[in-house]
Chain A
Amino acid sequence: MRTTETAPITTTDTPVVPEPPRLDVVHLAKSYGSSSQKGDGGKKVIEDLTFSVGAGEVVCIVGPSGVGKTTLLKCLAGLQPASSGYAAIDGRTISGPPPEMALVFQDYSRSLMPWLTVRKNVILPLRHLRLAKAELKARCDEALEAVGLSHAENQYPWQLSGGMQQRVAIARALAYRPEILIMDEPFASVDAQTRFDLEDLCLRIREDFGMTILVVTHDIDEAVYLADRVVVLGSKPARVLRVVDVDLPSPRDQISTRALPEFAEQRTEVLALIKRPA
């Protein structure tokens, strides 16, 4: 179900972020190993991050591994406090896991319950939402179908390949119907064909549910293909090198979009930022 018009207008010639920012990251800094909130002392992982994500936008974060991307997402998900600065949803500072958010973890092998079948893993976060039985079943079926795992619903995670496990984790997030979906290198362990399918799934759920989506990836092509904007992180400790507005027509298509000369230009721009020593 792809429509030609995306709900919020993607920034083409106006560098202004759509109002109001759904997710706002303001001078966020994070150090490990210091119990104080001051942010000095300990190991500084994130220096100073400022960017925002508008409602219904898809934003990708790219940066070298070890730069602090996972750390940033844990701060956004309320799993870790920021050392200074803050992140906010609709202007409310995040201090614990926000109810409207779901996070797909990078480490899929440690994110599914090995004692639950695939189906029960997907249902687990829905239990406290007190949904009607039919609704619960529908959401679960639909999510498993979307990631192509309907046939594996009664298997255990440890019986599946790494890529399939990651798809279960994605299905779990989809069934939760978050308003804001955050994914940490979600497609890193799946094969190329599945990867394309999941990228398109990602764009489709944005259309269908108006989800706001933030994806961390180290694949620059993927970032450009998916995103309305790409946040390029660099240097240790992490800071924003640039926010690149991706100026590509929607709907996007794996073959034709990637063949556009603009696509090549955009990916070159991002690549140059990452390659250049900061």
Chain B
Amino acid sequence: MDKLMNKRPVLWLLGIGTPALLLAAWWLASAGSTDTFFPPLADIVDRFRALWLFDHFGSDVLVSLRNLVLGYAIAALAAVAVGFVTALAAPVRWAVDPLIHFLRGIPPVALVPIFISLMGFGPEMRVASIALAAFFPTFIATVDGLRAVDRGLLDVAQVYRLSRRDRVVAVLLPAASPQIFSGLQVSLQTAFVVMIASEMLGPSRGIGAMTLLAQQSFMISDMWSGILLLGVIGFAANFLFDLVRRKVLAWYIGSRRLARAS
């Protein structure tokens, strides 16, 4: 235990130091570069600041983020709700199961053209594409999680005649929450990919659209800065997600750690 505590700062240093070192190496190696495709990092950072923090913040960064948040939120809520109905009502399960397994096999990005033909190139199309693609991982995890709830806990809920609300909120939902969160994490990654993919088709705004446009107009520093921004957003989204997960699943993480220790 003591040893591990002492290792903590070292590990932190490694975690922060390694990317910092890589960035520094990139900065130095690219400093005088005249290669069109690998401009100096200094240029890229300049463009990053000019493009994303000022000119296109409102018109593109916010648009992308709004689509992402909206699509993901719709997907998460719908997936958990439909997952509950599917897992708990046998007829629904029989009706829905084969369809779901067919749909989940389609790569999420391939769904985008369907929505383009249905909705055109508006923001609705992008939100809908994100929502549908992000729906499946969480939905499937929710159904699996609910089916795996311990019989013993369900017996307790029955013997003590818990209300339907308590049964859902205090027993089923928490019992399935570790699996639901695994699904939500995959959904988040899916939503992110589809957000970018949906912007790369048709006349469009957003970080993905801007990055593609920059590439097509040989504004290579702009393109790199767009990729950098996507990396930062992806990192931040995962970081936030993990923060929430650690808070909500504190009981699960704690019990697992204890079980492993003994």
Which residues of the other chain, A, contact B175 by a CB distance below 8 angstroms? 113, 115
Q: Which residue of B lies closest to A117 (CB)?
A: B251
**B159:A102 contact, CB within 8 angstroms:** yes
Which residues of the other chain, A, contact B174 by a CB distance below 8 angstroms? 113, 115
**B251:A77 contact, CB within 8 angstroms:** no
Which residues of the other chain, B, contact A176 by a CB distance below 8 angstroms? 160
**B166:A79 contact, CB within 8 angstroms:** no
| Least distance between A108 CB and chain B CB atoms (Å) | 9
Please tell me if B153 contacts chain A, counting CB pairs below 8 Å: yes
Complex alpha-carbon distance, A176 and B73, angstroms: 39
Q: Which residue of B lies closest to A124 (CB)?
A: B170
| Least distance between B29 CB and chain A CB atoms (Å) | 50
Q: Using an 8 Å CB-CB cutoff, how does the interface string of B224-255 with A read, 1 for contact, 0 for none?
A: 00000000000000000000000000011011
Complex alpha-carbon distance, A115 and B247, angstroms: 12
Which residues of the other chain, B, contact A107 by a CB distance below 8 angstroms? 152
List the interface of chain B (C-beta within 8 A of A): 150-153, 155-156, 158-163, 166, 170-171, 174-175, 177, 251-252, 254-255, 258-259
**A101:B254 contact, CB within 8 angstroms:** no
Which residues of the other chain, A, contact B151 by a CB distance below 8 angstroms? 110
Given A97-B158, A115-B252, the answer on whether A105 and B152 have CB atoms closer than 8 Å is yes
**A97:B152 contact, CB within 8 angstroms:** no
Task: Kindly count the residue-residue contacts between A and B in the assembled complex, taking CB atoms under 8 Å apart.
Answer: 70
**A99:B171 contact, CB within 8 angstroms:** no
A sample of 27 cross-chain residue pairs with beta-carbon separation below 8 angstroms, ordered by A number, consists of A74-B155, A78-B158, A78-B159, A97-B158, A99-B161, A101-B159, A102-B160, A105-B152, A110-B150, A113-B174, A114-B251, A115-B252, A116-B170, A124-B162, A125-B161, A125-B162, A127-B163, A127-B166, A127-B170, A156-B251, A158-B251, A158-B255, A158-B258, A158-B259, A159-B254, A159-B258, A172-B160
Which residues of the other chain, B, contact A99 by a CB distance below 8 angstroms? 161
**A105:B155 contact, CB within 8 angstroms:** yes
B-contacting residues, A65-115, CB 8 Å:
74, 77-79, 97, 99, 101-103, 105, 107, 110-111, 113-115
Q: How many residues of A contact B (CB 8 A)?
A: 26
Which residues of the other chain, A, contact B161 by a CB distance below 8 angstroms? 97, 99, 125, 128
List the interface of chain A (C-beta within 8 A of B): 74, 77-79, 97, 99, 101-103, 105, 107, 110-111, 113-116, 124-125, 127-128, 156, 158-159, 172, 176
**A111:B153 contact, CB within 8 angstroms:** yes
What would 12 more interface pairs be, CB under 8 Å, given A111-B156, A128-B162?
A: A77-B159, A78-B159, A99-B161, A105-B152, A110-B153, A113-B171, A113-B175, A128-B161, A156-B251, A158-B258, A159-B254, A176-B160
Which residues of the other chain, A, contact B177 by a CB distance below 8 angstroms? 115
Complex alpha-carbon distance, A110 and B150, angstroms: 7
Which residues of the other chain, B, contact A172 by a CB distance below 8 angstroms? 160
**B254:A158 contact, CB within 8 angstroms:** yes
Contact of A125 among B150, B160, B251 (CB under 8 A): B160
Which residues of the other chain, A, contact B166 by a CB distance below 8 angstroms? 124, 127-128
Closest 9 CB pairs of A and B: A110-B152, A125-B160, A158-B255, A115-B174, A128-B163, A115-B251, A103-B159, A97-B159, A110-B150
**B255:A114 contact, CB within 8 angstroms:** yes
Given A115-B252, A116-B170, A159-B258, the answer on whether A124 and B160 have CB atoms closer than 8 Å is yes
| Least distance between B252 CB and chain A CB atoms (Å) | 7
Q: Which residue of A lies closest to B156 (CB)?
A: A111
Complex alpha-carbon distance, A156 and B152, angstroms: 18
| Least distance between B148 CB and chain A CB atoms (Å) | 13
**A105:B251 contact, CB within 8 angstroms:** no
| Least distance between B177 CB and chain A CB atoms (Å) | 8
Q: Which residue of B lies closest to A116 (CB)?
A: B170
| Least distance between A184 CB and chain B CB atoms (Å) | 11
| Least distance between A180 CB and chain B CB atoms (Å) | 12
Complex alpha-carbon distance, A176 and B258, angstroms: 30
Q: Which residue of A lies closest to B171 (CB)?
A: A113
Which residues of the other chain, B, contact A158 by a CB distance below 8 angstroms? 251, 254-255, 258-259
Contact of A111 among B152, B251, B252, B254 (CB under 8 A): B152
